[in-house]
Amino acid sequence: MSQQTVEKGYFGQFGGSFVPEDLQKVLDILEENFEKFKNDPEFNEELRYYLREYVGRENPLTYAKNLTEALGGAKVYLKREDLNHTGAHKINNAIGQILLAKRMGATRIIAETGAGQHGVATATACAMFGMDCTIYMGKHDTERQALNVFRMELLGAKVVPVEQGQGRLKDAVNAALADYVENYQNTFYLLGSAVGPHPYPTIVKHFQSVISEESKKQILEKEGKLPTAVIACAGGGSNAIGAFAHYIEEPNVRLIGVEPEEAPTLTKGVPAIIHGFKCLTLLDENNEPMPTYSIAAGLDYPGIGPEHSYLKETGRAEYVTVSGKEALEAFQQLSKLEGIIPALESSHAVAYAMKLAPQLSKEDIVIVNLSGRGDKDVEQVFEMLKK
């Protein structure tokens, strides 16, 4: 992939920026500032400070001994994003973007959220840096993630339930973009996933790539070789692109994104424009983004990051699906075997690792990106299992 395509915000045919002129001007200013600060030593020193002292990085790459023995195949390692402050990978990007917002002179932060983890991470970062914070969340998601709504409000954020459309993540993104265009003079849109018009997918990947930067170093220290496969769940695609980033140029490492069977964007999607960028998208018979559903609210998106679309099209990464039932089983297995309760999103990746590891030899190594912890899902799972 030539540098030029990336600079224009394209990954093959995917990506780009298909937005009204007034929003494009705002995005150009954002891109200019990102390019200016991403290699700035002072910026990176501050970012490293907060990732270390506030987020708690670097987090461990834990050998899942009991799970490995139970599966009887490849060694399974867990990259512990669940141990970050706020309990998921989302905080990596929130801290990075808020430091950028600060340098751009923004006083107000807006964000969208599905499961609420990105909303919580954004609200946390805003509390830390004394920024005004508004979070858009689909009404449906506010109901099934009521505890996360309370957390955001506790942290000082204003949560706006979006009733339009399905009242889910897609609708929250629409509302946030409308706010951004109207208030861009003092507002920074802190986008949580590797989606949206350029430069967002590139910005999010940049701040999430710390995941694979660490795991690559850690696995070489522990095993003296690279993993056979890296597995991550894929909804919008931010934890997966972060988990893959430093392995993309390592052709012998399999990159596997795991989607919910109920929202198989990369498995069944077609190239289309959604939210100002081109990606593989699930469309209905009217060529509109299809309603999606997953037991994991964070995987409930009819599109996917443009770079994932490109990795799928070029065959560099594989994308598979697991059912909600399999994810639920993995949620319980990891809890029982390792004493680690994973997020329902991450449980999709664990479920696929449980299928793959037994097919591989004991010499093989699989890294599962444990993108978040399951506290937020325990109540939901309790109700599902009761039924």
Looking at residue 179, which CATH number applies to its domain? 3.40.50.1100
Q: What pLDDT is attached to residue 189?
A: 97
Task: Check whether residue 223 and residue 270 sit in a common domain.
Answer: yes
Q: What is the model's pLDDT at position 6?
A: 45
Same domain, 68 and 124: no
Whether 112 is a known active-site residue: answer yes
On whether both 194 and 262 belong to a single domain, the answer is no
Residue 4 lies in a domain: no
Same domain, 240 and 345: yes
Assess whether 340 and 326 both reside in one domain.
Answer: yes
Same domain, 236 and 317: yes
Number of domains in the chain: 2
Greater confidence (265 vs 115) lies with 265
pLDDT surpasses 50 at 5 = no
Q: How far apart are CA 62 and CA 179, in angstroms?
A: 41
Q: Is residue 6 part of a domain?
A: no
Domain assignment of residue 2, yes or no? no
Report whether pLDDT(322) > 90.
yes
When pLDDT is cut at 50, 70 and 90, the band that residue 22 belongs to is confident
pLDDT of residue 4: 39
Three-state SS sequence of the chain:
CCHHHHHCCEECCEECCCCCHHHHHHHHHHHHHHHHHCCCHHHHHHHHHHHHHHHCCCCCEEECHHHHHHHCCCEEEEEEHHHCCCCECHHHHHHHHHHHHHHCCCCEEEEEECCCHHHHHHHHHHHHHCCEEEEEEEHHHHHHCHHHHHHHHHCCCEEEEECCCCCCHHHHHHHHHHHHHHHCCCEEECCCCCCCCCCHHHHHHHHHCHHHHHHHHHHHHHHCCCCCEEEEECCCCHHHHHHHHHHCCCCCCEEEEEEECCCCHHHHCEEEEECCEEEEECECCCCCECCCCCCCHHHCCCCCCHHHHHHHHHCCEEEEEECHHHHHHHHHHHHHHHCCCECHHHHHHHHHHHHHHHHCCCCCEEEEEECEEHHHHHHHHHHHHHC
Contacts of 7 (CB under 8 A, 6+ apart): none
pLDDT for 7 beyond 70: no
Q: Is 329 part of any domain?
A: yes
Co-location of 165 and 272 in the same domain: no
> Does one domain contain both 94 and 75?
no
Q: Verify whether residue 90 is a known catalytic residue.
A: yes
Say yes or no to pLDDT of 303 above 70: yes
Residue 41 lies in a domain: yes
- b or e along 125-149 (b: 16 or more beta carbons within 10 Å of the residue's beta carbon)? bbeeeebebbbbbbbbbbebbebbb
pLDDT at residue 287, as a whole number? 86
Which of 81, 112, 307, 326 is flagged as catalytic? Answer: 112
Q: Residue 85 pLDDT > 90, yes or no?
A: yes
Task: Tell which wins on pLDDT, 2 or 192.
Answer: 192
Residues 124 and 258 both lie in one domain: no
Of 171, 204, 237, which residue is a domain's last? 204
Among 204, 232, 267, where does a domain finish? 204
In the set 79, 90, 170, 376, the catalytic residue is 90
- Pairing state between β 61-63 and 14-15: unpaired
Choosing from 163, 187, 204, the residue where a domain stops is 204
Give the confidence band of 175 by pLDDT, cuts at 50, 70, 90: very high
Distance CA(131)–CA(168), nearest Å, equals 26
102 and 151 co-located in one domain:
yes
Prediction pTM value: 0.94
Comparing 299 with 280, the larger pLDDT belongs to 280
Question: Which residues constitute the domain of residue 364?
Answer: 56-88+209-386
Over range 72-76, report the average pLDDT.
Answer: 98
Is the per-residue pLDDT at 294 higher than 90?
Answer: no
